[in-house]
Amino acid sequence: MRMRTMTKKIQIYDTTLRDGNQARNMSLSLDDKLNIAQKLAEFGVDYIEGGWPNATNQLDIHFFEQAAKLDLGSTKLTAFGSTRRPNSDVEQDATLNSLVEANTPVITIFGKTWDLHVKKVLKTTLEENLLMIKESVQYLKSKCEEVIYDAEHFFDGYRVNPEYAMQTLLAAEEGGADCIVLCETNGGMLPMDIREIMEVVAKTINTPLGIHTHDDSGCAVANSIEGVLAGAVQVQGTINGFGERCGNANLCTIIPNLYLKLGYECLSSSELKSLTEMSRYFSEIANLHDDIKQPYVGASAFAHKGGAHIDGVMKDPTTFEHIDPALVGNDRVYILSDQSGGSTIVKKLQQFLPHIEKKDPLVGQILAKVKDMEAEGYQFEAAEGSFRLLAAKEFGLYKEPFEFIGFRVMEEQKGGSHDPSAEATIKVKANGKLVHTAAEGDGPVNAMDNAIRKALEQFFPELADIRLIDYKVLVINGKEGTGAKVRVLIESADKTDTWGTVGVSANIIEASWLALLDSINYKLMKDSI
């Protein structure tokens, strides 16, 4: 990859706490927003748009009160709102004064650019809208350090009425805006539209320009990049691209594209290395699943499954990777599957057997075992714990620390109760002692988990550290109906690690038990090494 040499500074404006929080299934609490703001500042963004503080949004009012106590370093906190209402006085306008009361160094307001919105949404005249923009910017500029003007629906407005759309920008410029952001609010533009229109704007407007795009046509990142290439010095977006409808422009993709591919100054190399951590931190706080296919930061961004691909990457990573994953804090992953070759097995084994070589006969033996098990329905892509157990046993490096004798699970639905209960009975033998115990749980897997811990923790107290964090069931062949095999994937964690284990059976309870048993055995194995 050849990086273009550029030194132009691009400001990163994060609107995750406001625009991102408007995403479906997202609702950030006050503590969530404060924690994310602190993390964003540590990450190094230039602006954090905290929300819209008004009478109907008490959470954002409280956020700005509490955020004033945070140490955000050089990052600027921004309050967001709209221009004044039609035919009103700026000094008496409740929206503008709520922004002033947020006491932030920067205030961002949006105004109407598209004449359709002026007439049908604001229900006012085109002339009055120009005054609303100019007077609002002018008033706020007298009350804070910096005013950013968001030209809402600019590109749609420009296509319909370019003369008026430009007049709205000039009104913001006359009011003293420090930056005018061209917003692609509906998300339907294509990259060539963005560049063509922005190049025209850049010849007329002297105020620094920004770009704000949405992803309804799948082009938000590309549109943002085109905006920068056409002269924008500020890019607005959200972490992971969360936002209304199809989301906002994804800063986790835009930032490395600008820095690594185009050479723009936006973050330092050390800050960029925390990009993956930032992405996953936000998903965790928002209680949303990570998008494993997300460029740069996704769990699959540098995951290699095909044997030929893995062989190439092992010889020279640039054969199948566009950047070094370490640059963005991500990891290279080699996936075991029926497409895997000896190179994949070797790379996996070298994580705990550094001197193993491809010519070792046990490598072929393990590969054959993996392929046989996958033919039965197993899958080791997300079951690193099960694979390591398998390999350790094949190499004679691990002996079962306890003997499993048997288990029984019963479920009961009590009259008057909507929640069934489960009870598991377990028999195991450890240190020459037979243990027969039982435990209840919310369901059969929970009951089995409680029972096996109860039986074994007296011998292996470290098992108390394990917690089950995810449980997935997949029907392997639905054509078999209720007799189909199922694959159960369990994700477990302790104080330092996370690992996946897998079980397959036509009986969902047995498949769950096999995955659970592997999880416990892997914990004991890794702690003993």
Q: What is the pLDDT of residues 225-249, one digit of tens each?
A: 999 999 999 999 999 999 999 999 9
Place of tokens 């835009």: 254
Mean pLDDT calculated for residue range 184-199: 96
CATH superfamily of 11-267: Aldolase class I (3.20.20.70)
Mean pLDDT calculated for residue range 138-162: 98
pLDDT value of residue 126: 98
Most confident stretch, 2-11, 103-112, 325-334, 372-381: 103-112
Q: Which two tokens stand for residue 267?
A: 């973050």
pLDDT value of residue 482: 56
Comparing C-alpha atoms, which of 347, 321, 326, 325 is closest to residue 336?
347
pLDDT value of residue 1: 45
Amino acid at position 96, single letter: L
pLDDT of 160 strictly over 70: yes
b/e string for 144-181 if b means 16 or more Cβ within 10 A?
bebbbbbbbbbbbbbeebeebbbbbbbbbbebbbebbb
Q: Which two tokens stand for residue 71?
A: 């140490």
Residue limits of CATH 3.30.160 in the chain: 402-459
Encode pLDDT of 39-70 as tens digits: 999 999 999 999 999 988 899 999 999 999 99
pLDDT of 217 strictly over 90: yes
Residue limits of CATH 3.20.20.70 in the chain: 11-267
Looking at the domain 402-459, which fold is it? Double Stranded RNA Binding Domain (3.30.160)
pLDDT value of residue 341: 57
Confidence of residue 2 (pLDDT cuts 50, 70, 90): very low
| Mean residue pLDDT across the chain | 90
Mean pLDDT calculated for residue range 12-38: 94
Poorest-pLDDT segment among 154-168, 401-415, 431-445, 448-462:
401-415
pTM to 2 decimal places: 0.73
Q: Where are the alpha helices (DSSP H) in 1-85?
A: 30-43, 58-67
Encode pLDDT of 406-445 as tens digits: 999 998 876 656 677 899 999 999 999 999 999 999 888 8
Calculate the dihedral angle through the C-alpha atoms of 475, 479, 484, 486, rounding to the nearest 10 degrees.
Answer: -10
